Amino acid sequence: MDDSPQNIQLVDSHLKDEEYRISFSQSGYDAIDKVRKNSFDLILMDIMMPGLDGLETCRRIHELPEHHDIPVIFLTAKIDKESIVQGLEAGAVDYIVKPFHGAELLARIRTHLALKTYREQLEAINVDLNKEILRGIEMEEKLRESQQEIVRINRQPYKKATEDSLTGLLNRQKMMDFIEYEYERASRTKKGFSIVLTDIDFFKKVNDTYGHDCGDVVLKGVADTILAQGRKQDQVARWGGEEFLLLLPDTDGRGAYTLAEKIRKK
């Protein structure tokens, strides 16, 4: 479920060779209607949707008596801890941050389909537990190991892997992922994007004169100023020591220049 046809096409390009039967929805209401009429093993869902967002859609699907255990994985560009917690509380079993790698998407899908299979098999075994006790123990162990693996993945220091610890901006590695994603999207849609690279003049003098603690305050202040001038869809990273990089989707050179001047004056 995603309101963007481009995102649906991208996911489909990764899944079409895996022999999955796939259905698409571009709204929460349509997704709920399809779940009522069909039997699904897993749902991939965007959080930010017009009308009925992904969080509410997930809650409503799990309120349906026959579909309360469908695993839902959120595909989302929202990487703040609060959004992740809200998604898990809404009933999602996992989340994947956009832009994502195809290998990660397929690996998590396989893991949760396997978990669903193990749960269903355990339920069948419990009907005749006395005859199948050994098989039940083996499957329960597999389920426990799979769940521990998911917990281990989700407990990894996610922000450390994607954000600059001082400024809270994206780090260089995560920004490269966004640039690659934007390049692929621009190649399909034929819409351009711009990149702005900026640094703080004479920053070494700040550190030498007032100390590195003061320099950290300056870096954080500049980062906050840059964020305040951009749009929601713009991405900002700390590129180096006192360097910052902005990724501006659907923006030409004139628009990038205008924003750069706005930031410089601030």
pLDDT of the chain, 266 residues: tens digit per residue: 998 888 888 888 888 888 888 999 999 999 999 999 988 999 999 988 888 998 999 999 988 888 878 899 998 877 777 877 888 888 888 888 888 888 888 998 999 989 988 888 887 787 777 777 777 677 777 777 776 666 565 555 445 578 888 999 999 989 999 999 899 888 888 888 999 999 999 999 999 999 999 999 999 999 999 999 988 889 999 998 999 999 999 999 999 999 999 999 99
Q: Report the half-sphere exposure of 260 (CA within 13 A, side-chain side).
A: 18
pLDDT at 152: 61
pLDDT at 163: 87
* Residue 77 phi, psi (nearest 5): -90, -5
CA distance 94 to 45: 11
pLDDT at 231: 87
Element (H, E) at 196: strand 193-199
CB atoms within 10 A of CB 114: 13
CA distance 163 to 131: 53
Per-residue burial over 126-153, b = 16 or more CB atoms within 10 Å of its CB, e = otherwise: eeeeeebeeebeebeeebeeeeeeeeee
pLDDT at 245: 96
pLDDT at 151: 59
Domains and CATH numbers, the chain: 5-156 (3.40.50.2300), 172-265 (3.30.70.270)
- Identify whether 99 is preceded by a cis peptide bond (ω within 30 of 0): yes
Q: Which residues are catalytic?
A: 242
Its pTM surpasses 0.95: no
Element (H, E) at 72: strand 72-76
